[in-house]
Structure 1
Amino acid sequence: MFDKIKPILNWFSGSKFQYRIFLILLLTSLFEIVTVSQGASSLIDDIIAEQVSHKALSQAKIIARIPLIKRALQEQSPELIQDLMRDVQRSSDTAFIVVGDLHSVRYFHPSPDKVGLTMTGGDNNWEQLRLGQPYSSISTGSMGLSVRGKAPVMDEQGRLVGIVSVGYMVSQIDSRIASDAAPVIYLTFFIVLLALFIAFVLSCYLKKQLLGMEPESIARQLQERTAIMRSLYEGFVAVDDKGIITAANPSAREALSQGETPLRGRNIREFPQFMALVQQEELCQEKDLHITVDDTMLICNATRYGTPGTPYGTVISFRKQEDIELLTQQLSQVRQYVETLRVQAHEYANKLSVIGGMIYMQDYDRALSYIESQSRSHQQTIDFMNQNIFFPKLRGLLMGKYHQAQELGIEFIMDDGCCLNKLPETTTEEQVIAIVGNLLSNAFEAVQRHITGERQVTLLITDVGDDLVIEVEDNGPGIPDDKIPDIIRKGVTSKKGVNHGVGLFLVNSIINQANGHLLFEPAQPSGVIVTAVIPGHPTRCRNGSEPTVSY
């Protein structure tokens, strides 16, 4: 049995979800309709049978009270009631009316040839009749299966003298039931068609709501989404059109509620900083918005989703600004290290070529003099850095910038006042490297654009006093006063190409975190002096967000 059903089950499980829903709804509706129809049909049968039985019994009792019938039975004269009963039979819708005596001998029957014969069916209950109690029965008589009403004929003294039997043929009852059930059948057929239509419409609606996806695909995508949300380092929050948070990953919970309270089910109004992102009336996308939550600067991206005519929702992703700045610093350092290695390799290759050429021409004295001069200059630079800069990574960066300047034909001067023994508590060596590296890179590019005159860049870095001061001066074209407020913004640059406009933004962000100052002053006769001041004992800025930028 199961082997026969198994192919059907396999086909059903392998069919599309829309078809499965359609069949389930249709079969369920048909089962309910058939069950109700059978129950209604059975109820109709019972009601009609009861009505017919009651009608037969009522007529039998009425006929049993006719005086002439009592007289005919008492006088044992069947001929007295023949004319009367034929008229009653013709005026009635009954199949038969039979009058019999105490010995079940017929005094009247619709078929005259059966008068005088014994009543058939075996359903005469004389004990009940002698008590004057009528009853109904179903039995097979000379005319076939019928529903009968039996009533006693009593004389004036209350004695039983005969019986009246009124019957309806079961075939007549079935015909009446069939005629009465026809509207029910038509209604059932109409309901079946209606159920078919509703099942089809509902299956199409479900398919549309599920975007044509199968349940298995939805379950798999839900599992994938859950895994992705848990693995995301960025915070992720989904908000519906009523402002209720419907999804949030652990990073968002950690950032917004310190991991103590689940975010799902809470109202976004509890975080008013995000309200502007979820109150848009149309689809839009916001990128790199800066929002402060509990003194923590977050960089947010928001995307609205939905279709016209349906409620909109919002997906918000965010990350701490300090995390992004740290990644930017690390990327900037790596790029600087790579550039330093490239410059050094290129410079040493050139110097080796010069030395090799002199040796090839047997000009040994000049080769030796060249080696000594290069070694002396290089050693002087190394000695100066070792004596004044006590941070190895920073010395490595400055040495690389020194060689890069030589390759680019730039005179890189380290001020005699350079001295760095300690750093402020709010600043790390990596952050100082990021500041110095970006400021020197900008200065080198600026003097390269200065066509006439010598190209010169001067660096002063000192911790004399309580503050860390980093000053970079170049004799490039300078920066117009009206451009200074914009150049510290992310993506703003005067350079051509892409991947620019990050350096000064990063410098400004680091100084912002340390509550320092970034100063721009014109240099003489041309160029600009950029000074970064980081306090050794920081105090919070009055507005709590932006550092002072002066020019």
Structure 2
Amino acid sequence: MLQLGIVVGTLLLVAACVMAVEMRRVQNAAFDEVGTVASELVELTEIQNAFETEHPEKIIAPMAKMAQQVSGVDYVTVADMNGIRLAHPNPQMIGKHVSSNHELVQDGQSFRGIEDGTLGMTLRVKQPIWDHGTVVGTVSVGILQSKTRMQLAEMVGAFAPWILLAGALGTVGAGLASRKVRKIYGVDPDQIHGMLQAREAVLYAVGDGVIGVDEHGTLTLANQEAIRLLGLPGDYEGQMIEEVLEPSLVQFLRNTSNDRDLTENVLSGERVLIATRREAAVSGQHFGTTLTLKDRTELENTLRELRGQRGLTDTLRAQAHEFTNRLHLISGLLSIGEVDEAEEHIQRFVGPHQSDGVQLLDDPTLGALLSAKLAVAHEAGVELRVHEGSHTGRDWVSDEDTVTVISNLLSNAIEAAGDGGTVLIQVNADGRGLRAVVEDTGPGISEAAQTKVLELGFSSKRGPQDPVHERGIGLTLVDRIVHRRAGVLHFEDSHLGGARVIAAWPLRPQPSGWPLRDETK
């Protein structure tokens, strides 16, 4: 019914517009016709001279009647300056006063309009008759308005069948279009608006980020969470994904795998995202791809802290068990009178007091991070040392970037060093900025691999069972943070035999003396 109403309404509107245009055109044609007749009459010398005779109507009336018959107008009236008719279609009206106002014309001006006269409503033109620069009379020529309406009716009758044919074709076309829409969407066209509003509400109510891409790779939709996670511009809609998305996301979306659902960990800026790609299809027809995004950054931070705490707990439990065994040994030695042997064991167990170096750092957050990493390293059989040259200013406070960078660098170094290895870290931070150096006894990073290790997903430790991007995120994230902070990330060989990684950035732009001095060599 909606389609039929639209078609009928459109036809009526078009018909009304056509009638209005045609009415104006017919009226203008009528005015032009009577205006031409009036202009020709006032230029006739015979009519101008007739006003000087005693009975001008005897000359003017026949000429006016002839002009009316030849031109086809409905009347021609001529009057003198007193408004007395000298010519009229009805001879009985000659000699009587005109029925309309001729004062404007007697003043030398022309008139064009619709007035009521003795014959009815007419479209008329009035012009003055000049003789040697003086107005001596007036001419009024007109066509009945009923005649113009009759012409309009004839024209409407001519194009009415075409309008009806267009209406029939429009109705059939609307019905076919409605059936097509119902076949595609399962609802009538007038229900699509409500359906789209409901889907839009659901899309924006979802806590995850959602984007839609058509089969050509054009970004078609994105909810607020996706715009926030991906940093999309305001005019994202209609742009190619290569223009607005990270290369890793583009590669993920362009994946030609036959799997309908793919899930990977990806980076967007400095956010770790869980991306799920699904094919969008209706009735077996492919329409594009949808991508669901979950922010894993906060989850990663929480899991990192949990792993550190769990490692610290496991280490303390193992140390408590070991300490109990040592106490049992010493107790046994003392019970059999081996005091010297017990004392020797005590000295061996305690050993000379060595500091782990954490107390060199005044920042509590950084100190807690290193303490947790010490426990993780101990559990992995790695010796983690804090360089004696480490120092943080009393007014300096670590932020999320600092924790993320140092945590990732230490995790990579501990894993590279392996059981029996050593990791050395130096942290210097003050009002100028931060400089962190991490060294290990691992295999190191070759010059050829220094660029690849910063690529998303690259890892020398990925096994055949590991999902893509489960590893290879840490250094990529570190590189992006350092770049945003206008800092440097540098790789070189360590005197320990493995890799030496330097990450540094200024608190604010420094004219000189940056980076901080190197005290690890």
Q: TM-score, normalised by structure 2?
A: 0.47
